[in-house]
Structure 1
């Protein structure tokens, strides 16, 4: 009769639950005789409440079951209902915190009830994904203490979380705990360890784990590595340049009765391609085919990329055509590799040919392909073609990036196509891409070289005041050059002083050379020599161009003694003379009877203190 009453209550609770009458179901449960609220009835009401999102009510019922000495204790069904539902609720409606769910594991454990391995694994994975590793560790550690953990799956989830955090000491500690508690690691357990060790280039540690995995046969606890384990190790070895060891491991794999697959060969082929051993990589491909292991598009792309990067583009094309005939058509990556390779060797026509073929093959170019081709065309001086590809890129729904705009503007400036450069500047403004220092420096440099000081200064002002960008040494150098080209050396010196005093941008050798050359041409050789000395004070090393400008100025002034001192500095600094240096000195020193000093200078010796004939 009691059982009948209990079953009637359960049936009523379920009918009310299916009708969405949760309050009524809870009222029925509340009014039941306490002695009839057994574990079975409580499981039904908890399930109903959790399904309805009434988490607090469900936990109130559960709390009574979890009390020490409870008459109606939880069982495995209770655990399945509670943890399965709470983990789902936890994912969509954050009403139960992870630490509360983890705390329930401990409470259930006191009644010798443990969540099933699947649910427990989900909980550990969830805790690890939210980087609550310590709590995940605590949950499993407690279960091990109660001898309530028998399955490796939850441990595997914790190992994965620890691996992502590079907690290798804790990973090894967990492995020891598993052994102490007779929790048998499986192939996934070892695979996780090996994978994370390889990922962080701990190859020797991974090999040690691999040997341990295989070497426990004496204890009848050996775990046979699968293809994934072998592939992970082979890939790890190849990634650190130990492809020969990877190849030996392939032999071990075969002898252990584990058949290599496409991934195995792809890892080895990639390793040998990166090492430049293209012949070995191709031999592995041949071996792969002979063993009837089917190559895929990754195999194709790896070999094509390897051949192209090591200067064997024609061989790569030949191999690609051969693979196409066998039915392996390639993908966007394949065509991108070829387009990039042909652009790098300035074979733009071939790059365009592959670009057109790519579209016909149904492999739609991405932004990187367009960028690569635009850059290649622009640098080859084919600006009309580059513009055409840019238009196709926009039509395909892509936008030019700042790097592309800068490159095109630079190339248009080199070709004196200022209208086109201005169009691109206007377009940048329309699409919301702000010019950067490279954009402004390109334009400032162009106008400076053209002697258009007004526009060079205008763009420098826009750069500093409108764009709030700091001028670089390149910016200052371009404007100083413009001043000097327009015979305005005083303004150039003024900007030079501002540069060193206000902006704190240190001048480089190029800027000193521009100023020294300009001063010498104006016959202001003393000022040029002062700048020359300033270079030494500021640690800026003069080059052959610097010395040539100074020597030319000294020659015009006929300051021979000073010129000999400059020649000594040139020898001291091991700065090689070029044909211009020799032209200046040969004409000058020969005319004043100092050919012995000239000869000594060419031999790399100092000349100012050398006893020579009078001039």
Structure 2
């Protein structure tokens, strides 16, 4: 009898001829447990027996492949499904769109929309929100407003996700006062402010140095009975740290842990880089000991590794040693962990180590996405190796990935560091022609480059 326990993979006797129904169950079980390669192998066995995979098999595989970043394989499975005459549903198509956009593959995402139209599959609210999230993140103002208008025409209710993204859109383009005005409009429309919107407001105030207002909003949301989440705490800690209020940042970090929140590794980099530059290693070590005493063993391990990368402990020799140390502590390696490690190396211009992290990541079966490639550009730029940074940019283009605002600003910074000022206006024009709306940082770097060219 097969074992149908909820937390175990279904296994069947070797050599037993299985039915399509049993193969479907096995593929589903493998996908749920994250054994995507086994699920793909199971599909091949099914086809070798002359059995035709059903919609359920393809649906499980496509979504599982997208979840682990193997979007091109997911697309191949999808094309096979279409070839066999199976009609896609909106859930599969949304999974593909999300997977493509996570990699910055906008053209493939738009192609999937055309497939929706060809098969008469109606876009739902999730479809619009996936694109809205991508366009806002990429700084594509015109495309963002086009999506918003289409959502209104379709009659979709504009929820907190929509409003928070609009606030972030204004914030990232330097119009933070307009972003706050949106909050008043939300209230007039009878929409209740939820945690997502509050987080956007706090982050907006924090980014523009209005920290007292950010703390006031933080207090207000709690009075309203809304419990802050890890994003709320991270935002307050990050902006206080970057503004130079390090003791307040550490106080917030302690209070966050008092509330039972598991510290986010991303915030470690902000704290370590800021306090490390000031030579406040004693504060960092003291905080590390407090974390260990609280029983945060895994986060403490990540914290120790990041401290080591910044040159304080000297326990590890390189990326492989750091990753091995995390494995020993039972920490599951994910795209997020690799991103944190590579960013720590990149901030110090340690290019070879950053590349090594990416290589280890690929060896683990996790494909580098646009975020990771942007980190690599930043690493080369910080090391004064602008040609290598530019080659990564070309790799992004050749891979069919659409660069975002971070790509362009990181590359512009690399050229400014190398005193290649004439390249900056060209990049700025490329950014605008690609549909990305330059943010405040990009505009400031353009002015810096133009002023330098006038003085030459």
TM-score range normalised by the length of the shorter chain: 0.5 to 0.7
Q: Is the 8 A contact 2:167 2:180 kept in 1?
A: yes
Aligned to 2:375: none
In the superposition, relative to structure 1, how do residues 422 and 566 fare at CA in structure 2: closer, same or farther (>3 Å)? same
- 1:283 lines up with 2:6 in the alignment: no
Aligned to 2:226: 505
Please give the residue correspondences for 1:254-293 in structure 2 after superposition, counting only pairs within 5 Å: 271=4, 275-280=8-13, 283-285=15-17
- 1:573 lines up with 2:294 in the alignment: yes
Task: Measure how far apart 1:431 and its partner are.
Answer: 1.0
Task: Measure how far apart 1:512 and its partner are.
Answer: 4.5
Task: Measure how far apart 1:315 and its partner are.
Answer: 1.9
Aligned to 1:12: none
Please give the residue correspondences for 1:38-77 in structure 2 after superposition, counting only pairs within 5 Å: none
2:49 to 301, 323, 337: 323
Aligned to 2:345: none
Q: Is the 8 A contact 2:170 2:178 kept in 1?
A: yes
> How far, CA to CA, are the matches of 2:201 and 2:28 in structure 1?
44
Q: Is the 8 A contact 1:402 1:435 kept in 2?
A: no
- 1:388 lines up with 2:121 in the alignment: no
Helix, strand or coil for the counterpart of 1:284?
coil
Helix, strand or coil for the counterpart of 1:346?
coil
Aligned to 2:193: 470
Task: Measure how far apart 1:424 and its partner are.
Answer: 1.7
Aligned to 2:422: none
Q: How many residues align?
A: 303
> Larger RCO: Structure 1 or Structure 2 (Cα < 8 Å, ≥ 6 residues apart)?
2
Please give the residue correspondences for 1:184-223 in structure 2 after superposition, counting only pairs within 5 Å: none
Aligned to 2:406: none
Please give the residue correspondences for 1:392-407 in structure 2 after superposition, counting only pairs within 5 Å: 392-407=115-130
> How far, CA to CA, are the matches of 1:566 and 1:272 in structure 2?
42
In the superposition, relative to structure 1, how do residues 307 and 283 fare at CA in structure 2: closer, same or farther (>3 Å)? farther
Q: Is the 8 A contact 2:167 2:179 kept in 1?
A: yes
Task: Measure how far apart 1:429 and its partner are.
Answer: 0.9
- 1:313 lines up with 2:39 in the alignment: yes
In the superposition, relative to structure 1, how do residues 331 and 274 fare at CA in structure 2: closer, same or farther (>3 Å)? farther
Helix, strand or coil for the counterpart of 1:283?
coil
Q: Is the 8 A contact 2:198 2:221 kept in 1?
A: yes
> How far, CA to CA, are the matches of 1:306 and 1:392 in structure 2?
28
Aligned to 1:457: 180
In the superposition, relative to structure 1, how do residues 383 and 459 fare at CA in structure 2: closer, same or farther (>3 Å)? farther
**What's the CA shift string for 1:451-507, capped at 9, x where partnerless?**
4413532443444432613231x4323322222222222332333333334x33344
Q: Is the 8 A contact 1:547 1:570 kept in 2?
A: no
1:368 to 47, 68, 91: 91
Helix, strand or coil for the counterpart of 1:487?
coil
Q: Is the 8 A contact 1:274 1:306 kept in 2?
A: no
Helix, strand or coil for the counterpart of 1:285?
coil
In the superposition, relative to structure 1, how do residues 361 and 506 fare at CA in structure 2: closer, same or farther (>3 Å)? closer
In the superposition, relative to structure 1, how do residues 495 and 554 fare at CA in structure 2: closer, same or farther (>3 Å)? farther
In the superposition, relative to structure 1, how do residues 458 and 393 fare at CA in structure 2: closer, same or farther (>3 Å)? farther
Q: Which 5+ residue runs of structure 2 have no aligned equivalent?
A: 314-456
In the superposition, relative to structure 1, how do residues 369 and 565 fare at CA in structure 2: closer, same or farther (>3 Å)? closer
Deviates more, 1:429-438 or 1:491-500: 491-500
Please give the residue correspondences for 1:139-538 in structure 2 after superposition, counting only pairs within 5 Å: 243=1, 271=4, 275-280=8-13, 283-285=15-17, 295=19, 297-306=20-29, 310-311=35-36, 312-324=38-50, 328-449=51-172, 451-466=174-189, 468-472=191-195, 474-501=196-223, 503-508=224-229, 510-512=231-233, 514-515=235-236, 518-519=239-240, 528=248, 532=252, 535=255
> How far, CA to CA, are the matches of 2:257 and 2:71 in structure 1?
48
Q: Is the 8 A contact 2:47 2:53 kept in 1?
A: no
- Aligned-residue Cα RMSD (Å) equals 4.5
Task: Measure how far apart 1:513 and its partner are.
Answer: 5.1
> How far, CA to CA, are the matches of 2:200 and 2:29 in structure 1?
42
In the superposition, relative to structure 1, how do residues 469 and 398 fare at CA in structure 2: closer, same or farther (>3 Å)? farther
Q: Is the 8 A contact 1:375 1:407 kept in 2?
A: yes
Q: Is the 8 A contact 1:551 1:563 kept in 2?
A: no
**What's the CA shift string for 1:33-75, capped at 9, x where partnerless?**
xxxxxxxxxxxxxxxxxxxxxxxxxxxxxxxxxxxxxxxxxxx
**What's the CA shift string for 1:368-427, capped at 9, x where partnerless?**
332332333233332222222123213433222222222221122223333223222211
Task: Measure how far apart 1:535 and its partner are.
Answer: 2.8
In the superposition, relative to structure 1, how do residues 451 and 581 fare at CA in structure 2: closer, same or farther (>3 Å)? farther
